[in-house]
Chains A and B, each alone.
Chain A
Amino acid sequence: MTPDLVGGLESPDYASHDRAAHEPYTPVFTGAVKHELDELLTHYPTKMAALLPALWIVQRERGWVSEEGMVEVAGFLELTPAYVKGVVTFYTMYHQHPVGKYFIQVCTTSPCGICGAEDVVKALLRHTNAGELGITSQDGRFTVIEVECLGACGFATPVMVNEEFIESMTPEKVPELLARLP
Chain B
Amino acid sequence: MVDAKIVNLTIEGRSVSVPEGTTILEAAKTAGILIPHYCYHPGLPIAGVCRMCLVEVEKAPKLAPSCATTVAEGQVVRVHSEKSLDARKGVLEMLLINHPLDCPICDQSGECELQDYTYQEGRNDSRYREPKRFNPAEDFGGDVIYVPNRCILCTRCVRFMDDVAHEPTLNVSERGDRALIGKFEGKDMTHPWAANVVDLCPVGALLSKDFLNKARAWELDRTASICPNCTQGCNVIMETRENQVVRMRPRPNENVNAFFMCDWGRLNYRWMNEKSRAEHPMVRGKNGLVATNWEAAISAAARVLNGKKAFIAASPMLSNESLFLLTQLMQAGGGSGTFRVTEGEEAPLPGVEDLALRRERAANVYGAEKLGFKKTKDLLGGLGQGDVLVIAGEDLAGIDASAVARAGDVIVISSVLPEAAGKASVVLPIANFSEEEGTVTNLRGRVQRFTQARQAPGETRPSWLVLGDLLGAMGKQANFFLPSEVFAKLATSNPSFAGLSYDSLGFRGLPLVDAPPTGPKAPIAVAAR
Contacts and interface: CB of A to CB of B under 8 A. Distances in A.
Q: Direct A–B touching in the complex (beta carbon < 8 Å)?
A: yes
A82 B170 CA distance: 6
A90 B187 contact: no
Contact of A80 (B174, B175, B184): B184
Given A79-B168, A83-B168, A89 B173 contact: yes
A90 B175 contact: yes
Of the four ranges (under 10, 10 to 19, 20 to 34, 35 or more), the interface on chain B belongs to 10 to 19
Contacts of A182: none
B253 interface: no
Interface in B170-224: 170-175, 182-185, 187
Contact of A89 (B170, B175, B187): B175
A83 B187 CA distance: 11
Given A67-B184, A67-B185, A89-B182, A82 B168 contact: yes
A85 interface: yes
Interface in A71-106: 79-83, 85-87, 89-90
Contacts of A82: 168-171, 182-184, 187
B116 interface: no
B171 A85 contact: yes
Task: Identify which of B173, B174, B182 gathers the most chain A CB atoms within 10 Å of its CB.
Answer: B173
A82 B185 CA distance: 8
Interface residues of A, number: 12
Contacts of B182: 82, 85-86, 89
A70 B171 CA distance: 14
A89 B174 contact: yes
Interface string A89-133: 110000000000000000000000000000000000000000000
Nearest to A80: B168
A80 B169 contact: yes
Given A79-B168, A80-B167, A80-B168, A85 B184 contact: yes
B386 to A, nearest CB: 61
Nearest to A81: B184
A67 B184 CA distance: 8
A171 to B, nearest CB: 30
Interface string A137-177: 00000000000000000000000000000000000000000
Given A80-B168, A90-B174, 12 more contacts: A70-B184, A80-B167, A80-B169, A82-B168, A82-B184, A82-B187, A85-B182, A86-B173, A89-B171, A89-B175, A89-B182, A90-B175
Interface of B: 162, 167-175, 182-185, 187
21 contacts: A67-B185, A70-B184, A80-B169, A80-B187, A81-B187, A82-B168, A82-B169, A82-B170, A82-B183, A82-B184, A83-B162, A83-B168, A83-B171, A85-B171, A85-B182, A85-B184, A86-B173, A87-B171, A89-B175, A90-B172, A90-B174
